[in-house]
Amino acid sequence: MALDSKIPHGPISDKWTDYKDHINLVNPANKRNLDIIIVGTGLAGGSAAATLAEQGYNVKAFCFQDSPRRAHSIAAQGGINAAKNYKGDGDSVYRLFYDTVKGGDYRAREANVHRLAEVSANIIDQCVAQGVPLAREYGGLLDNRSFGGTLVSRTFYAQGQTGQQLLLGAYSAMNRQIGRGKIKMYNRHEMLDIVIVNGKARGIIARNLVTGEIERHSAHAVVVGSGGYGNVFFLSTNAMGSNATAAWKIHKKGAFFANPCYTQIHPTCIPVSGDHQSKLTLMSESLRNDGRIWVPAKQEDAQAIREGKKKATDLSEAERDYFLERRYPAFGNLVPRDVASRAAKERCDAGFGVNKTGEAVYLDFAAAIKRYGTEEAFVKGLDANDAALVTKLGAEIVKSKYGNLFQMYYKIVDEDPYTTPMMIYPAVHYTMGGTWVDYNLMTTIPGCFSIGESNFSDHGANRLGASALMQGLADGYFVLPYTIGDYLAPDIKMGEISTDLPEFVAAEKEVKDQIDRFINNKGTHSVDYFHKKLGKIMWDKVGMARNAKGLAEAIEEIAALREEFYKDVKVPGSANEFNQELEKATRVADFLELGELFAKDALHRNESCGGHFREEYQTEEGEALRDDENFAYVAAWEYKGKPSDAVLHKEPLVYENIKLVQRSYK
């Protein structure tokens, strides 16, 4: 099957407008005749559900939590990008487009990214109209801060809880439609398969997680907004429930999976502290606006700190190595995440790490506290030479910007980040890969759309900070509502789709068979036992740095682990009850397949780009070395029975508006 990305013709800045002018429309009365299933009510699915219902479609929305308010999106801390140029610092749609393509190491589709930049400003207006309390400056205008990979301030935020506030906005918009009966909300329901009738997505099979009942649901189109698959690593900053099942199930039924190996390892997370952990915690990138990253300049000092003989604050300026500022003077601490993560790993591998395991660097706010404090002393007419006063005033400003993050750090690490630098280390955070979609956000299954983190679009090989919320909300509020109408226009007279069709019966049987298999498997090990083992293989051999040997081993080890899992997993309880072990089993089964495809994709991509770093392909300075001649394409994998048999399809990436050059942030 040839991949058709359906990119409209014409100049890049006209494509989206021109597209909207010429698509098929469904008139308001006919929208009432059409049902849409939305799997996932995070920012992507929630915004889509609210908008499509407002337009008049009948929406059935599903999430596995007890409320859309608990989607993983609520964890987003730092902010959301938009090309509003409120700071007058030279931002524009083109610059956001350029930064995103460059940040993604030239592995994103130009047309989609430009559209994203175009609609970015509308998102902020929409959210403000909903009442989202984005931070404001003294004069009342919306405030901005900077994120990595850019030279402007374009990130809108609500302290360190931007995702939560945006989600509450989308959720209230959804609630209005739930109240009107236009959205039927299925909380605590998990989609376990898609139903395809005559080649088109026409429904899903879902499990009621409270009663265990298996249900059939039909619709004229199915939208998957199920989030990312970072938990394939077991430990990540994702919510514990985040999983790949919906995306993987549609992959197995015909949706190509694109660039599975593009994973983002975020540089500023609280380091792993031991085997007992089931989750990692992010310290938002916004902290790099004011925090300076460093390690001791001398290995002896690093060792003394590791042994508890010295403290960070014992080291003078001259004894510190601000390695990002040294290596990347233009962007300094605000280089993109892939660059910052690799630089931290390089210093730790070289013996400069500062925690007990040697896998941590410092994120230090002392300079910012002093700078803000001095300014505040001047503003208030106080003594700017009084060090204690300056520190107090500065800490108050830092608290107003990042207070909840500092509190979180304090609660987890039991150290006060106002007086001693935070310790941070890279951790799995976001997946740029996902189901392949065309310009309409439709997968290779007609009528099955994918939005938000679950699709592969827009971020290339590395996502810039604060761009996931932008993309999820762009997809849900402003893109899908147009493109899905174009697809649905021929179906207006079709009527309701019966769930008695043989395709529903067959899909339901498949789901029930898998559940029965788990329940009746009298194995000896818990689901987590296998998940942890998978995570270790992924982190050691498919993680921040990869090589051909390790990847080939990982592929074999994951396949063997999968076999062991099916033979020896123990799932207590029954199918007809609230059974979280069973939920985990079906999810880990999918991770065990996805992990293998992930490694296969990483092995085939003989280059380094963004979050995909192959040790064999690096510059003398240790930067990622792309091979544009052979790898400037989206790798879209077609399922053929098992991950090892997946067939590769290539969508060539053509750069007509941005010159392809090796990325530099110096």
Ligand X SMILES: Cc1cc2nc3c(=O)[nH]c(=O)nc-3n(C[C@H](O)[C@H](O)[C@H](O)COP(=O)(O)OP(=O)(O)OC[C@H]3O[C@@H](n4cnc5c(N)ncnc54)[C@H](O)[C@@H]3O)c2cc1C
Identified binder of ligand X from the candidate list 150, 242, 289, 341, rule CB under 6 A: 242
For 46-112, strand residue ranges (E) read 58-62, 80-81
Under the criterion CB under 6 A, does residue 203 sit at the interface with ligand X? no
Under the criterion CB under 6 A, does residue 245 sit at the interface with ligand X? yes
Under the criterion CB under 6 A, does residue 462 sit at the interface with ligand X? no
Question: Which tokens belong to 255?
Answer: 């949706």
To the query of whether residue 337 is one of the catalytic residues in this protein, the response is yes
Asked if 109 and 249 count as a contact pair (C-beta separation under 8 A), the reply is no
Cβ-based neighbour number of residue 15 at 10 Å? 20
| Candidate segments 39-47, 570-578, 600-608, 648-656, binder of ligand X by CB under 6 A | 39-47
Asked if 141 and 21 count as a contact pair (C-beta separation under 8 A), the reply is no
Under the criterion CB under 6 A, does residue 42 sit at the interface with ligand X? yes
Asked if 134 and 157 count as a contact pair (C-beta separation under 8 A), the reply is yes
Question: Which tokens belong to 525?
Answer: 């090990």
Looking at the Cβ atoms of 186 and 352, the one nearer to ligand X is 186
Identified binder of ligand X from the candidate list 26, 59, 76, 571, rule CB under 6 A: 76
Question: Which tokens belong to 189?
Answer: 């329901």
Looking at the Cβ atoms of 617 and 639, the one nearer to ligand X is 639
Q: Which residues contact 503 (CB under 8 A, 6 or more apart)?
A: 195, 196, 197, 202
| Site track for ligand X across 307-346, x = CB under 6 A | ----------------------------------------
Length reported for the chain: 666
Question: Which tokens belong to 399?
Answer: 């608290």
Looking at the Cβ atoms of 5 and 431, the one nearer to ligand X is 431
Under the criterion CB under 6 A, does residue 177 sit at the interface with ligand X? no
Under the criterion CB under 6 A, does residue 365 sit at the interface with ligand X? no
Q: Which member of 69, 337, 463, 626 is catalytic?
A: 337
| Site track for ligand X across 533-572, x = CB under 6 A | ----------------------------------------
Identified binder of ligand X from the candidate list 16, 19, 57, 64, rule CB under 6 A: 64
DSSP 491: G
Least distance (Å) between residue 40 CB and ligand X: 3
Number of residues that bind ligand X (CB under 6 A): 47
Least distance (Å) between residue 37 CB and ligand X: 10
Asked if 481 and 48 count as a contact pair (C-beta separation under 8 A), the reply is yes
Under the criterion CB under 6 A, does residue 433 sit at the interface with ligand X? no
Identified binder of ligand X from the candidate list 111, 222, 283, 469, rule CB under 6 A: 469
Region of residue 610 (phi > 0: left; psi between -120 and 50: alpha; otherwise: beta):
left
Identified binder of ligand X from the candidate list 71, 113, 558, 602, rule CB under 6 A: 71
> If you count DSSP H runs as helices and E runs as strands, how many of each does the chain have, helices first?
19, 19
Q: Maximum Cα–Cα distance for the chain, whole Å? A: 80
Asked if 235 and 272 count as a contact pair (C-beta separation under 8 A), the reply is yes
Under the criterion CB under 6 A, does residue 158 sit at the interface with ligand X? no
Under the criterion CB under 6 A, does residue 238 sit at the interface with ligand X? yes
Angle (deg, nearest 10), helices 162-180 and 43-55 = 30
Question: Which tokens belong to 557?
Answer: 């080890």
Identified binder of ligand X from the candidate list 246, 445, 497, 542, rule CB under 6 A: 246
d(CA 373, CA 388): 10
Least distance (Å) between residue 63 CB and ligand X: 3
Asked if 166 and 80 count as a contact pair (C-beta separation under 8 A), the reply is yes
Angle (deg, nearest 10), helices 366-379 and 387-413 = 140
Identified binder of ligand X from the candidate list 23, 75, 413, 625, rule CB under 6 A: 75
| Candidate segments 86-94, 325-333, 347-355, 468-476, binder of ligand X by CB under 6 A | 468-476
3-state secondary structure 220-232: CEEEECCCCCHHH
Contacting ligand X within 271-290 (CB under 6 A)? 282, 284
Looking at the Cβ atoms of 238 and 608, the one nearer to ligand X is 238
Cβ-based neighbour number of residue 564 at 10 Å? 16
Least distance (Å) between residue 14 CB and ligand X: 27
For 63-161, strand residue ranges (E) read 80-81, 155-156
Identified binder of ligand X from the candidate list 234, 328, 430, 613, rule CB under 6 A: 430
Interface residues toward ligand X, by CB under 6 A: 39-45, 62-65, 71-73, 75-80, 162-163, 189-191, 225-228, 237-238, 242-243, 245-246, 282, 284, 429-430, 452-454, 466-469, 472
Q: Active-site residue numbers? A: 337
